Structure 1
Amino acid sequence: MNPGHQDWPVTPQQDVPTAYADIDFENNAQRLPLLLCLDISSSMAGNPIRLLNEALSGWGREIQEDLALSYSVEIALVTFGGQGIGVWQGPHLLDPHTKASPFVSARRFQPPRLQASGVTLLTEAVETSMSLVAARKAELRRLGLQYYRPQICLVTDGLPTDERGHATDAWQRLIPALTAEQKAKRFRFYAFGIGGISDRGQQVLRELAPKYHATLKGFPFRDLLQTMSASASAEQRGAEEETFEQLFNRFKTQRPAWDS
């Protein structure tokens, strides 16, 4: 949903729930929820997780320096690996039973220090991501606040597994939900394969995100995150779908030159 550009009343600060106290609701900027769904399973150990942490830190500073993005983009992180599914509010891992939103304003975003371990619960992580985005949109509507179409960015280097680390086809249940949600323009879903992702892993991403999937050599997290910023900027400008496709295709075609 995109309620448009009409003037809506601003919710008084005293009416804002404690869970959202870090967001400046007195500002009239439309919100743009951006959720990063990140693979931190054991295959990401060593240099990959180090590069991811460095990229998140640098990207956080860059997005804060962009005035338009810093006042509209809200960032949340979902990770899969470690002890299972992690939901992060900035640098803090939220309790699974909390009702607090993980979304924080970009200008106050501080990334966590991620560690790699565990299995690749991709299916459950994407389902969690969709649920969190839906909940945030409902909360923004309740507060009388406008928002742009949210973005979900999946990044993985492996195949979806179950809790025991065995390859699973459970991810196929995501396809009808992702198809329906995007047809209804409830969010835009990106899927990136990184590192040494297998051909089968690439096929999974193609089926999950037929229009916005890419396989990237190595771990170019900084470039990837900057592409998400560019997509957010396009969303703010009310760009047509063709613009997003051109932006994404440009990123994919430029990667070989950058890698070299």
Structure 2
Amino acid sequence: MTARDRTSSRRFGRRALFFIVLISIIGAALLFTNGVGWPMTLTTFISGLTAAIGLDFTRQSSSQDPHRGVEIMGLVALIEENARTAVSSRLQGEPDDQTVSTITPALVAEGIWTSEDANEFRRVLRVRNSIAHSGPRSVTEKEVREAKKIADGLLAKLDRNGTSAAPISINERMPTILLVLCIDTSASIEGPRLNRLNEALNELAHSLQSVPLLANLVEISTVTFGSRPQVWRGDQEVSEEVENPFLAAAEYLPPTLFSAGSTSLGGALRTANRIIDARVKFLRSRGRRLYRPQLWVVTDGLPTDEWEAAADEIAAAQEMRKIVVYGVNLGRDERVRNVLDRLLPRHIYEVEEVDFSPILSILTDSIKSIW
């Protein structure tokens, strides 16, 4: 919504409130002059006033910008990145592994920030955490403005210390989460199960897009496997050699899946591993920060190709903390669980019908764990 649109909306809202109150007064007066008692007259007036208050609340809620907290997320991420650089010689271990509680005292000790600056940064963090945990509507526009002003000032102090990164957009300041859905579309996935799978993908897309933070952070690619692996960028099948098979969650439109053929799990795992590796290298070459990529493997049957070596590669990547793997055993077959176990997943979901709702909470928890 543009500034002009918001101004017009406010003017319309004020006029509507005025007319509702005016009509309530006139209606109450007419009732009283026609011999209706005070109780009914007062009830009519209060009903109109209640409607006006309800309209005003709705107008104010709808006028709030649901994306207003996104900039704070990016600013905090940039502060943390530059702060780690500023005190890296003082910190033990890799700078990227340091928490805010470790970095802030080091900044004060180095004379880059004052104790008051550290307290102000905690104010910004409270706003950021409130947005991350409860959504943008959990904070007021005034709180966001004040937090942004403080964050800009703290960044300026880091800039003077010579630690600032090259100017980049707000979205580029924010760490990215790569999400790959590796989904079995063999002939056994048919009928109601296939329908439910397509429904679950659409529900996932809607859920991610309803949370502005995740819509901005997450990039998704889908790898399906029947007789051969297929890579999808949104609802378009692409070659894995394309520049970027991932799509921002805000723009993600899931593919409509059809089932056929065998279960080429090994080929799908190798494909997923390659596209994750390529995207990670590309983003890092651009100076982007990343959370650990997530790979979700959904299957209901035993592999029909040479899958063991590919599974071991995924397990090794998991152990090296390059990715996080989750398995979905569709149908609860013990033999399928044994296959998924070889990937060393963080968790295996045993289900009869596909439900991607755990992805949303896990993505959110991933962000919280780093913040």
TM-score range, shorter chain: 0.7 to 0.9
TM-score by length of 2: 0.53
Aligned partner of 1:80 among 199, 216, 225: 225
Segments of 4+ in structure 1 off by > 4 A? none
Gap regions ≥5 residues in structure 2:
1-77, 83-164
Which residue in the other structure is 1:110 paired with?
Answer: 253
CA RMSD of aligned residues (A): 2.2
Residue aligning to 1:35: 180
| Between structures 1 and 2, the one with greater strand share | 1
Instruction: Assess if the C-alpha contact under 8 Å between 1:79 and 1:87 holds in 2.
Output: yes
Partner-residue secondary structure (3-state), 1:71: helix
More helix by share: 2
Quick check: which has more Rg, 1 or 2?
2
Contact 2:265 2:303 in 1 (8 A): yes
Q: Is the 8 A contact 2:185 2:224 kept in 1?
A: yes
Is residue 312–residue 342 contact of structure 2 (8 Å, CA) maintained in 1? no
Are the equivalent residues in 1 in contact too, given 2:315–2:345 (CA < 8 A)? no
The Cα of 1:28 is off from its aligned counterpart by: 2.5
Report whether the alignment pairs 1:235 with 2:366.
yes
Contact 1:191–1:209 (CA<8 Å) still a contact in 2? no
Any idea what the Cα deviations from partners look like across 1:184-211, whole Å, max 9, x if unmatched? Answer: 210001111102x532222111222354
Amino acid at match of 1:233: T
* TM-score, normalised relative to structure 1: 0.75
For the pair 1:191 / 2:327, whether they are aligned, the reply is yes
Give 1:243-254 correspondences, 5 Å limit: none
Identity %: 29
Q: Is it true that 1:59 corresponds to 2:134 in the alignment?
A: no
Name the aligned partner's letter for residue 202 of structure 2: S
The yes-or-no answer on 1:142 pairing with 2:313 is: no
Distance 1:10 1:47, change over 3 A: farther
1:119 aligns with 2:262: yes
Q: How many residues align?
A: 212
Alignment match of 2:235 (pick from 87, 91, 109): 91
Displacement of 1:103 in angstroms is: 0.8
The alpha carbon displacement at 1:48 in A equals 1.0
Out of 148, 165, 172, the residue aligned to residue 308 of structure 2 is: 172
Q: Which has the higher contact order (CA 8 A, sep 6+)?
A: 1
**Aligned residues of 2:318 and 2:345 also touching (Cα < 8 A):** no
